[in-house]
Amino acid sequence: MDSPTLGIIGGSGLYDLSFLSEVEEFELETPWGRPSSRIRTGTIGGTRVAFLSRHGPGHRLSPSEVPYAANVCALKMLGVQRLVSISAVGSLIQEAPPRSFVIPDQTLDRTVGRRRTFFDDGIVAHVGLAEPFCVDLCDAVATAAQAGGLPVRVGGAYVCIEGPQFSTRFESELYRSWGCSVIGMTALPEARLAREAQLCYACLAMVTDYDVWHTSDEHVSVDVVIANLLAMTAAVQNIVRALAEQPLPPCSRGCAEALANAVITSPERITPDVRERLAPILGRPAQGSA
């Protein structure tokens, strides 16, 4: 059986992919613990896909509790080269209404206390994050999303807050004044860790509501979010299917070589234990079209 090359992390509202064939399940252990859920692999078209539910079975893990490092590591251990994150967000701009998609190209990190690197405790690396998402993978996601029938906005900054509470009105206005487009709780540190793992990473953000800056009567609440999520889940399934059915072009952005000049620790000072722990991350993903 071929390795899965396309990884999907499903967020709120997306807990499974309904159309996979030749399904297998993997329960993995990584040097950073167990991932959020078992990983289901299967085939769509000619592509092997690996699916992981970010919040775990029954949505038990808060955004602060998600084991982001274990999730990214486990998907890479299965052979994933390209990783698409499905993330529910609030909109900070009028032009991205509820029940539309945004494919962000930048991030602002307002999380606190989350593990944000694989490289610590005996090894240091500084990867580039100027473009936190793989532009080529974003293009492919955009093409698939535009065939899905709901509005799609390409580009914009995703501000990631710690949560689990939604933002205050002042915070919401502040993020707007900084030029952010959407607000969510999970794209970071996922994007950081995917870059360190040398994976292409893109985010398909599902707009479930206008954040609290908006003067509409329909303020953000879990009920509103869930109603809009359910309405968008079928579209997301179609987008993932469309993405997998097309051969993805090779990445031209160097994601698979992100660590080439990033490790600053003297090689002779890296202990065998550290090398063993980092082995799944330091390995380059197999190249080839997914």
Contacts with Zn ion by CB under 5 A lie at 134, 200, 251, 253, 255
Q: How far is the CB of 136 from Zn ion (least distance, A)?
A: 5
**Catalytic status, residue 109:** no
What is the β-pairing status of strands 200-210 and 101-103?
antiparallel
Instruction: Name which of 134 and 232 has its Cβ closer to Zn ion.
Output: 134
**Catalytic status, residue 120:** no
Q: Is there a cis peptide before residue 189, judged by omega within 30 degrees of 0?
A: yes
Q: 274: which 2 tokens? A: 């550290």
Q: How far is the CB of 214 from Zn ion (least distance, A)?
A: 34
Please identify which of the residues 136, 209, 223, 273 carries the catalytic annotation: 209
Q: Are 270 and 27 in contact (CB under 8 A)?
A: no
Instruction: Name which of 150 and 290 has its Cβ closer to Zn ion.
Output: 290
**What DSSP string describes 217-268?**
S----HHHHHHHHHHHHHHHHHHHHHHHHSPPPPP-S-GGGTTTTTB-S-GG
Instruction: Name which of 265 and 287 has its Cβ closer to Zn ion.
Output: 287
Work out the burial of residue 226: count CB atoms within 10 Å of its CB; fewer than 13 is exposed, 13-18 middle, 19 or more buried. middle
Q: How far is the CB of 15 from Zn ion (least distance, A)?
A: 27
The Cα–Cα gap between 236 and 245 comes to 14
The Cα–Cα gap between 49 and 45 comes to 10
Q: How far is the CB of 70 from Zn ion (least distance, A)?
A: 22
The Cα–Cα gap between 42 and 213 comes to 41
Instruction: Name which of 179 and 249 has its Cβ closer to Zn ion.
Output: 249
Please identify which of the residues 120, 211, 217, 223 carries the catalytic annotation: 211
Q: Cβ–Cβ contacts within 10 Å for residue 14, how many?
A: 24
Of the candidates 244, 257, 250, the one whose C-alpha atom is nearest the C-alpha of residue 289 is 250
Instruction: Name which of 180 and 197 has its Cβ closer to Zn ion.
Output: 197
The residues that are catalytic are 209, 211
